[in-house]
Chain A
Amino acid sequence: MKGILIIFLLSGGLFFFAVGTLGLLRLPDVLGRAHSAAKCDTLGAVMTLAAAMVYSGWNATTLKILLMILFIWITNPTATHLIGRVVYLKNAKSDNGVRKNEDL
């Protein structure tokens, strides 16, 4: 029973990581790529860590992994926000004719 749960969580995590990587390659611009890279990470990493939690059972390791999930959920959106903000500010500049960067 425990094994089935672990397999389910791990394959779910793997699926979302794969989707994130594929999106990173397929989506057209920086912001779209930031979407896919950051978002599928949230669920992918959490499901993988949850599998590790189930595997280790009730002990201090589980609590530590729970803390890791918490910190990932706090830091991940902050980092994504920073990337998005830089792109946004750069684009805002280019609209005023100060700078043009088509590659973005």
Chain B
Amino acid sequence: MTRITLTSLLTIGFWIVLSERLNLEVLVAGLLLISIMYMLYGKQKVAIGHEKIFFIKSLGNYGKYFWLLVKEIIAANLQVAKIVLGPRISISPTMITYETKLESAFHRTVFANSITLTPGTLTVSLVDNILTIHCLKGEYGEQIMDSKLEKILLEIEEYQR
């Protein structure tokens, strides 16, 4: 699947969802707008970059990744709620640096954003493969060290070689 078909499929899907119905006028108007948009932005790497990310094999892994992320977000949100609602706020903010083994820029971004999404940890800077993470408690940092999220992303990268 080349990038142009992927981008146009995504954008036409987006257009159909926004217009709430599917008939000829909507499709023609959508295709016209998409071709104009592609002419304007096609040269910039708006979509995903050069890496071929969407393999059928890794789709299942992305689903697994999303499911795990949702579970971690809920668990960690409850932990932060416990801290905030406690009679005395007991936190020990720490900065840790973590070297990730991920290679593609896309996966690094996904991983850093997932860390920020899970409460208690906040990616403060991402330079090359070194993440600086601010943790509300020291133990949250240790949880990142052996997180399953990175392992799933590493598996996806294995497929792509």
Contact = CB atoms under 8 A, between A and B. Distances in A.
A85 B125 contact: yes
Contacts of B89: 26-28
B84 A77 contact: no
A74 B74 CA distance: 17
A32 B123 CA distance: 13
Contact of A43 (B77, B83, B120, B136): B77
Contacts of A32: 91, 93, 136
Interface residues of B, number: 32
Judged by DSSP, the binding face of A is helix
Nearest to B109: A78
A73 B114 CA distance: 9
B80 interface: yes
B122 A64 contact: no
A73 B117 contact: yes
Contact of A19 (B84, B93, B113, B132): B84
A81 interface: yes
B132 A76 contact: no
18 contacts: A19-B81, A27-B84, A27-B89, A29-B93, A31-B122, A39-B76, A40-B80, A43-B74, A67-B14, A67-B17, A73-B117, A77-B112, A77-B114, A84-B122, A84-B123, A85-B124, A88-B124, A88-B134
Interface of B: 14, 17-18, 20-21, 73-74, 76-77, 80-81, 83-85, 89, 91, 93, 112-114, 116-120, 122-125, 132, 134, 136
The 6 closest A-B pairs by CB, nearest first: A39-B119, A77-B116, A60-B20, A23-B84, A77-B113, A88-B124
